[in-house]
Structure 1
Amino acid sequence: MSAKEAGTEEPITILLVEPNPGDTRLFTESLHEAKLANRLYTVTNGEDALDFLYQRGEYESNSCPDLILLEPQLPGKSGMEILSELNDEPALAEIPVVVLTGSDAEEDIVRSQDVDADHYIQKPVAPDDFFQFVRSIEDFWFAIVQEPTS
């Protein structure tokens, strides 16, 4: 049972799909500083993201994430291809996906691909802004957890 299903503050499993090692480091440090209860896994490309989600290869012992943070610009399979595959796979379609955009223009481009994400958040430019960025992801997560089930 995921933290979302349990409605508790148990650690959540986050999969960060980000090719930029600098952004990955800043995100990881900010998440740690925010003292959020989580388990963070990172991959740098679309193929590894799908292997993680389908628990294949080196990721077969990992549990499916509760939340995916997805950079749309990836080497190999793009973030939009991953999102499309997630939406087409019932077992994975329920995982909330936050698309990490670099600008409003990039968000518009992603939205024009006719692939639905649960939320879009602009990645910060300055390292000092990453803490607020992590807080906005936390706010999104708690909004999901508090949504009434139908």
Structure 2
Amino acid sequence: MARSKETFGKKELEKKKLKKRKEKEARKEERKANGGSLSFEDMLVYVDENGQLVSTPPDPTKKTEIDAESIVLGARNSNAGHVEDPIRKGTVTFFNTSKGYGFIKDADTGESIFVHINGLVDQVNENDKVNFETERGPKGMNAVNVTLIKK
């Protein structure tokens, strides 16, 4: 004798689908019985001065004018008028000519900045005073256009 092709799981799944279909049909009939669809005015929602959703329109006496020019989008630039000088001063603390790299200590911030031989304009040695610019490299700031300060 052959087994039935319908398993318990399939039967349960069919029962759930049928139940959902009947519930959906019941909700549809209930909506029809209660007057059909809502009017456009019934669907509108307003926001009051406190940001709460309400069903009544706002009071026109509480309306305030806002100047569109005073609205700031994004972060305000705090030093918009101040332009930093790109040329910095420092002292060569270490430079290995055979390997072609070294470090410059910035005179203002005291930070140590990497310098490669390709970023040099003049030949430098340790303890030389230099002018330089910085650019972002893959591992941090690099000194470029490094020139000796004439004494």
> What TM-score do you get using the length of structure 1 for normalisation?
0.18
Q: Which is richer in strand?
A: 2
The structure carrying a bigger helix percent of its residues is 1
Higher relative contact order (CA 8 A, sep 6+): 1
Q: TM-score, normalised by structure 2?
A: 0.18
The structure number with the bigger radius of gyration is 2
